[in-house]
Amino acid sequence: MAGLGIGLIGTGYMGKCHALAWNAVTSVFGDVERPRLVSLGEVNADLARKKADEFGFAQSTGDWREVVANPDVDVVSVTTPNQFHAEMAIAALEAGEHVWCEKPMATSFADAEHMLAAARASGKVTVMGYNYIQNPLVRHIAALIRSGAIGDVTHVRVEMDEDYMADPQEAFYWKSEVQSGYGALDDFAVHPLSLLSVLVGLPTEVMTDMAKPYADRPAREGGRRAVENHDIANVLMHMEGGVSGVLLANRSAWGRKGRIMVQVYGSEGSILYDQERMNEFQLYDRKGEPANHGFRTIMTSGSHPIYGKFIPAPGHGLGFNDLKIIECREMLSAISGQPAHVIDFERGLEIERAVHAMARSHFERRWMTVA
């Protein structure tokens, strides 16, 4: 694969993560040509030039459409606020470019469907930014579940908590606008849903309650502005095969930083994983003498594929940006026609379908079938 040309739209938190991944993927894996960082787009030309110099992009622009129209761009990273994903991703696909898009797909299900239709029509590779599924330990947990290590799965419980919206005096910004989505449910809970999709599958029926811990926030222009979406979501779930489930999401949880707790209970044991301690998980196996039963900690090591590409010794740990580098490598695999461990727009739409069913359940105050 000869040096794919990369375009990046957006340079905030996730824009920088994508830039770091494109810069590092060849150094880490050594089996792909170094991508060419062609064009970077931001909301104004000065910021774009500054970030292009920092990230290593050859060109910059204050108009994202110029990134998409650039004939030297083969892949576009879309890392902008949620409400812009659909327009940008569709434009890139229609221009004949592969798309790496941050989650969620879109703020409406219709827009997400349009994104999938554009992907199908283009024949190009699409990847959603669900990097938590790339953790070597998450892959190992999935393999354990498939092998029957904990027997038949009976119940799953997932929680995602952070505190970046916990301060009631934090100024109102776009994540509290209704145009950005439902709030914790689609801006946030899509990550644990991505993990469920690779571990046990997605829910078939849901019952949801959402909450606003703060009715309004200080407005930057003065006064206060009403919060338009929900920072908390609680979901009961029915999964395929009669498995029960619970999903809890709270982006106003003081003290929680990057917590995604996954608990999978089976007929022969249990698995516990917490993203805040992403280099270990706990396994309970009921086999053997009862006096010796108990959870044991399994730590990431070279025995778990891909970890060794970063670090030769166990116990040193991977980080969030390392997972983005793995995701980047998986996208390059997909582009070259190799098997790839990714959530594309096809699978991404199923996560969106679950999210929108959850939202309808809240507003209609009833169980909702995911369909």
Give per-residue pLDDT as tens, 342-366.
999 999 999 999 999 999 999 999 9
Mean pLDDT of 27-52: 97
pLDDT for position 288:
87
Q: Percentage of residues in the chain with pLDDT exceeding 90?
A: 95
Q: Does domain 5-124 have CATH number 3.40.50.720?
A: yes
Distance CA 93, CA 60 (A): 20
Take residue 90 and report the two structure tokens written for it: 């569709």
Q: What is the pLDDT of residues 63-88, one digit of tens each?
A: 999 999 999 999 999 999 999 999 99
- Quick check: 207 pLDDT over 70? yes
Q: Which parts of 177-247 fold into alpha helices (H)?
A: 184-187, 190-199
Residues 6+ apart with CB under 8 A from 34: 3, 26
Q: What is the pLDDT of residues 113-145, one digit of tens each?
A: 999 999 999 999 999 999 999 999 999 999 999
Residues 6+ apart with CB under 8 A from 80: 9, 10, 64, 88, 102
- Quick check: 265 pLDDT over 90? yes
Count H helices, E strands: the chain? 11, 17
Best CA proximity match to 76, nearest among 23, 12, 130, 124: 124
Radius of gyration in angstroms for the set of CA atoms belonging to the chain, rounded to a whole number: 21
Q: What residue spans in the chain does CATH classification 3.40.50.720 cover?
A: 5-124
Mean pLDDT of the chain: 96
Distance CA 123, CA 119 (A): 6
Q: Write down the CATH number for the domain with range 132-312+341-369.
A: 3.30.360.10
Question: ∠ CA(14), CA(17), CA(19), 5° rounding?
Answer: 110
Q: What is the pLDDT of residues 190-205, one digit of tens each?
A: 999 999 999 999 999 9
Question: ∠ CA(209), CA(271), CA(354), 5° rounding?
Answer: 30
Take residue 265 and report the two structure tokens written for it: 């209970």
pLDDT for position 240:
86
Distance CA 48, CA 55 (A): 10
Q: What residue spans in the chain does CATH classification 3.30.360.10 cover?
A: 132-312+341-369
Distance CA 327, CA 333 (A): 10
Distance CA 327, CA 342 (A): 7
Q: What is the pLDDT of residues 332-344, one digit of tens each?
A: 999 999 999 999 9
pLDDT for position 292:
87
Take residue 87 and report the two structure tokens written for it: 């327009």
Q: What is the pLDDT of residues 168-183, one digit of tens each?
A: 999 999 999 998 899 9
Take residue 268 and report the two structure tokens written for it: 């022969």
Distance CA 162, CA 173 (A): 17
Question: Token match 């992907």: residue?
Answer: 119
Dihedral of alpha carbons 282, 286, 287, 291, sign: positive
Residue 2 pLDDT class (50, 70, 90 cuts) = low
- Whether the CB-CB separation of 155 and 241 falls below 8 Å is answered with no
Distance CA 150, CA 165 (A): 36
Element (H, E) at 235: strand 232-239
Beta strands per DSSP E along 240-312? 244-250, 259-266, 269-274, 280-285, 296-299
